[in-house]
């Protein structure tokens, strides 16, 4: 039972364009969502998060959108840069469940110069 799904294993975009990474979840108890970025041979690095009381959170080039009715969130990167090439993981947690994170499978983003 995969509660957090990233249905696109990979995404390729041109430098300077927008990258949109998607994530779907099934558990309506999730109230906090995070995006992590992972480079090869390194641990995941926290990127941006959003609480379920919001529908948008922005940090520089990164914006996360949350659509609770659709149980869907997305990460927008504008403009995309070659250094953004990495694996991106969506994760979710529920306040009532010790706060443990449930991760999606990840999406590999390649930004071409």
In the complex, the smallest distance separating the C-beta of residue 53 from another protein, rounded to whole angstroms, is: 12
Instruction: Tell me if residue 84 falls in helix, strand or coil.
Output: helix
Quick one: which of 15, 52, 74, 101 contacts another protein (CB under 8 A)?
Answer: 101
Residue 46 lies near another protein (rule: CB under 8 A):
yes
Per-residue x/- mask for another protein, residues 14 to 33, rule CB under 8 A? ------------------x-
* Residue that has been written with the tokens 């975009």 in this structure: 13
In the complex, the smallest distance separating the C-beta of residue 113 from another protein, rounded to whole angstroms, is: 27
Return the number of the residue (17 or 72) whose C-beta is nearest another protein: 72
Measure Cα distances from 45 to 29, 40, 78, 93, 100 in Å. 25, 12, 19, 17, 16
Q: Do 9 and 73 contact (CB within 8 A), yes or no?
A: no
Residue 11 lies near another protein (rule: CB under 8 A):
no
Instruction: Tell me if residue 78 falls in helix, strand or coil.
Output: coil
Backbone phi, then psi, for 83, in 5-degree steps? -65, -10
Name the residues that contact another protein, by CB under 8 A: 4, 6, 32, 34, 36, 41-46, 49, 89, 91, 93, 98-106
């Amino acid at each position: 039972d995969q509660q957090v799904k990233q249905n696109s294993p990979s995404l390729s975009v041109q430098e300077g364009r927008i990258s949109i990474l998607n994530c779907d979840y099934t558990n309506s108890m999730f109230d906090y969502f995070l995006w992590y970025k992972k480079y090869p041979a390194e641990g995941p690095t926290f990127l941006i998060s959003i609480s379920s009381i919001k529908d948008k959170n922005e940090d520089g080039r990164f914006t996360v959108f949350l659509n609770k009715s659709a149980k869907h969130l997305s990460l927008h990167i504008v403009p995309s840069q070659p250094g953004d090439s990495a694996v991106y993981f969506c994760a979710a947690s529920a306040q009532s469940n010790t706060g443990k994170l449930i991760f999606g499978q990840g999406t590999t983003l390649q930004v071409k110069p």
